[in-house]
A and B are shown apart, each in its own frame.
Chain A
Amino acid sequence: MPRGRHLRQSQTDWAKERPLIEAAQRDPTRFGDLYDSHFDRVYAYVARRVGDRTETEDLVSDVFHQALANVRRFEWRGAPFSAWLYRIAANKIADRSERIGRERAIQPSPEIEEADQEVAHDCAKVFALVRDLPEDQRKVLELRFVEEKSTREVAEALGRSEGAIKQLQFRALESLRARIGGKHG
């Protein structure tokens, strides 16, 4: 099967990732570091394919539970740890469509798979930037865009004026745009 260059990992990247994986293999309570460095990507990947938030959370949860249970079996064969996680995720997504009575999704082509992983990677960078914002800005973005609340609803939830919410949302998006580097999509 042809493999895109993004599905392979350089020795240098592996050298960075390897200690985290080996630590988790020796002692599963150290899995948290791997979780932190891969959560956003896996979440973005699943969300992109599934759409619905509750479903996404259920699937992401399954993916990491399975990854924790099997981390000792992970062996490096040139592909990064994230590729292993994406594969678990893709299987869970396929199982789910079967379960809910849809036909098993056709296995995406390597090109689509690669594109999806790349998008997930980009999204993950944005999610990480959001986490670096001041807490009140982050909270506003989450309520506004993840939970899809109106400015008024957010104002009520946070006990602040609508004007304050609008200002926080403006500043937060401005600062994200600056950090992303003006690109949007």
Chain B
Amino acid sequence: MAEHDPIERLDDALEQRALDGRAAPDREIRELVGVARRLRDMPREAFRTHLRTQLREEAMASTAATAAIQLREGFHSITPYIIVPGAAQFIEFVKQAFGAEEKLRYPSPDGSSIMHAEVKVGDSMIELSDGNEQYPPRPAAIHLYLPDTDSAYQRALAAGATSLHSIEEMPYGERSGSVRDPFGNHWYIATHHGASHIPEGLRTANAYLHIVGANRLIDFLKQAFEAEEVELYREEADGPIRRAKIRLGDTILEMSEAHGPYGPMPTGLHLYVPSVDAVYERALKAGATSISAPADQPYGERGAGVKDPSGNSWFLATPLPARE
């Protein structure tokens, strides 16, 4: 009879939604109801597999942006790219003022200008070229950490720079001063008081962006390049960003909302990524405009260019495998 069938009796007991097995007539049924009760908080299998897939896709996308790539000696994820009127003189200036070392120079075919050059300061590279019609001069701001601020500041002035701010002890544990070089670039020269003259996470030369729309730019950097906010400082809760540190790959980029003498200085930045194509696409989706679509370059990189919403030019690059 149905009432005596344990299968039916179990179902009857389970139909009581409270899953209170105490009402069940025998021990076996009570135990089975007890097991069923433990299943109420069980995950749906479809949810578990869906979330797994989602996380995998997210991980794939993030590896595409930040996976380790073999960079040229001395290079990091970001290298500032300065376009100057008079690249040869600029190289002399950084040598004299900051002890930079010239690593590479490609003159134009007629020898009248420099198409591309690279200098090294401390642990950092700076790339540069002469301006032309297509790429007019575009000064930048560089936050420079050196062991002796005072002498670097003096040498910069001697090499033709003008003072923006004389040397001062800063309340945040740095001695710093700033100059504007003859080519319009700002140099914030500092010595950090700590274990090293360079603060944790930064390098000798760090690009410092003075831009309009820092909030929007940070969102863009997160979406396009999976940047990570390291530090954000505002004087008032909803006031302009006075200083932000944003990590891209292995490099921290500093920035602030343009103000006063620190007007907008859209900057050129060379950004190494594991996949130019993927990052280029993401950048456009995040609101960048294209400068150039991804293409293999004769100098051994696949490169593309985009302009971000604040007007900075990003030269995205992935080293190509050596052909030999």
Contacts and interface: CB of A to CB of B under 8 A. Distances in A.
Contacts of B44: 53, 57, 142, 146-147
Q: Specify which of B31, B42, B55, B58 lies most central, judged by the most chain A CB atoms within 10 Å of its CB.
A: B42
Contact of B43 (A32, A40, A182, A184): A40
Contacts of A44: 41
Interface string B181-193: 0000000000000
Interface stretch (B3-11, B146-154, B310-318): B3-11
A9 B8 CA distance: 46
Given A123-B41, A142-B45, A166 B35 contact: no
B231 interface: no
Given A65-B58, A68-B55, A170 B10 contact: yes
Interface in B16-70: 17, 30-32, 34-45, 47-48, 51-52, 54-56, 58-60, 62-63, 67
A56 B41 CA distance: 9
Nearest to B41: A47
Given A170-B6, A174-B32, A177-B31, A39 B55 contact: no
Given A28-B62, A29-B59, A170-B7, A177 B51 contact: no
B interface SS class? helix
Contacts of A141: 36, 39, 42
Contacts of B56: 29, 31-32
A43 interface: yes
Contact of B59 (A31, A127, A130, A185): A31
A39 B38 contact: no
Contact of B58 (A36, A68, A144, A185): A68
Contacts, number: 119
B15 interface: yes
A167 B32 contact: no
Contact of B7 (A53, A56, A167): A167
Interface residues of B, number: 36
A180 interface: yes
A10 interface: no
Contacts of A69: 62
Interface string A1-45: 000000000000000000000000001111110011001100110
Contacts of A176: 35
A184 B59 CA distance: 39
A44 B47 CA distance: 14
A35 B52 contact: yes
A61 interface: yes
Contacts of B48: 39, 43
Given A32-B52, A35-B55, A180-B35, A150 B42 contact: no
A87 to B, nearest CB: 19
Interface string A115-155: 00000000100110011000000100110111110110000
**Interface size range of chain A in the complex:** 35 or more
A39 B45 CA distance: 11
A173 interface: yes
Contacts of A126: 35, 38-39, 42
A185 B63 contact: no
Interface string A62-95: 0011001100000000000000000000000000
B51 A60 contact: yes
B14 interface: yes
A184 B15 contact: no
Contacts of A177: 31-32, 35
A68 B43 CA distance: 20
Contacts of A130: 39, 42
Contacts of A170: 6-7, 10-11, 32
A53 B44 CA distance: 9
A48 interface: yes
B52 A138 contact: no
Q: Specify which of A48, A166, A185 lies most central, judged by the most chain B CB atoms within 10 Å of its CB.
A: A166
Contacts of A146: 39-40, 42-44
A138 B45 contact: yes
A151 B11 contact: yes
Contacts of A48: 41
Contacts of B38: 123, 126, 184-185
17 contacts: A29-B63, A32-B56, A39-B51, A43-B41, A48-B41, A64-B51, A65-B54, A68-B58, A131-B45, A142-B44, A146-B39, A151-B11, A169-B14, A173-B36, A184-B30, A184-B38, A185-B34
